[in-house]
Structure 1
């Protein structure tokens, strides 16, 4: 499972996996405790695959930031906690993403990213690459066969 089915719901702790779509919203399952909740269309919901972190030059997709944390930690959990001091969190994030925009990325954002990474790691979700569209793959294979 990639980040395309993982949600952050405003006002609710942790992350959620998208389970099913309903007429008035969707059903999501908490990655923290496994409870399923119904989420209406009025809730502020973000797909992790759509979130980006501001740097001084561009916006870096969250999946790239998570991959950089994974590289820094050699595939393990983070060496700091999301509950550490603001200074420790900022120092850690500078090691991961040296040119992040300090004016736009708040310590609370850094806490979330670290907490999310550790939660995803605990659930065995450690592949943060973009999932390729299967139709695109099939089209490429078909066009390769036609060329031969």
Structure 2
């Protein structure tokens, strides 16, 4: 599992490369592959920690991106999210995630999701589950070890 990050105030997405004492070293997911530090003062969010609001349980971001990929055939989004009206944007998103919470999911959230989708697909990321989903096998093994230690 790679750690794909979003950094508030900086455009695009980043891949975690290394950790320093006071910062993270990240690499831009684009043609430049520019590396730069992300400091503790930066608001850094892992895409694996993001979910979309629905009328039921929240849906992890990787599942939503996977739904977009199925709709688009793993190509860039067919809709120009920068220029379409809010109504058209929501109609498109309803095809991707039919039960999204229309009160809590804003147009800007949908635009950001489509922007991230295009960045990831353009740069060769298409298996969103493998890339973004938390690995359950590791966490369950760690839990078993902790339970064993606690029992001693």
Gaps of 5+ in 1: 139-148
Distance 2:138 2:124 in 1: 27
Q: Which runs of 4+ in 1 moved over 6 A?
A: none
1:51-76 CA distances to partner (integer Å, 9 max, x unpaired)?
Answer: 00000111100000001011111222
Partner residue, 1:5 = 3
Gaps of 5+ in 2: 142-152
Partner residue, 2:80 = 81
Figure out how many residues of one structure are paired with residues of the other and give that number.
137
Cα drift, residue 35 of structure 1: 1.4
Structure 2 counterparts to residues 66-105 of structure 1, below 5 A = 66-85=65-84, 86-105=86-105
2:25 touches 2:35 (CA, 8 Å); kept in 1? yes
RMSD: 2.1
Cα drift, residue 38 of structure 1: 0.7
Partner residue, 1:42 = 41
Q: Does residue 23 of the first structure (1) align with residue 37 of the second (2)?
A: no
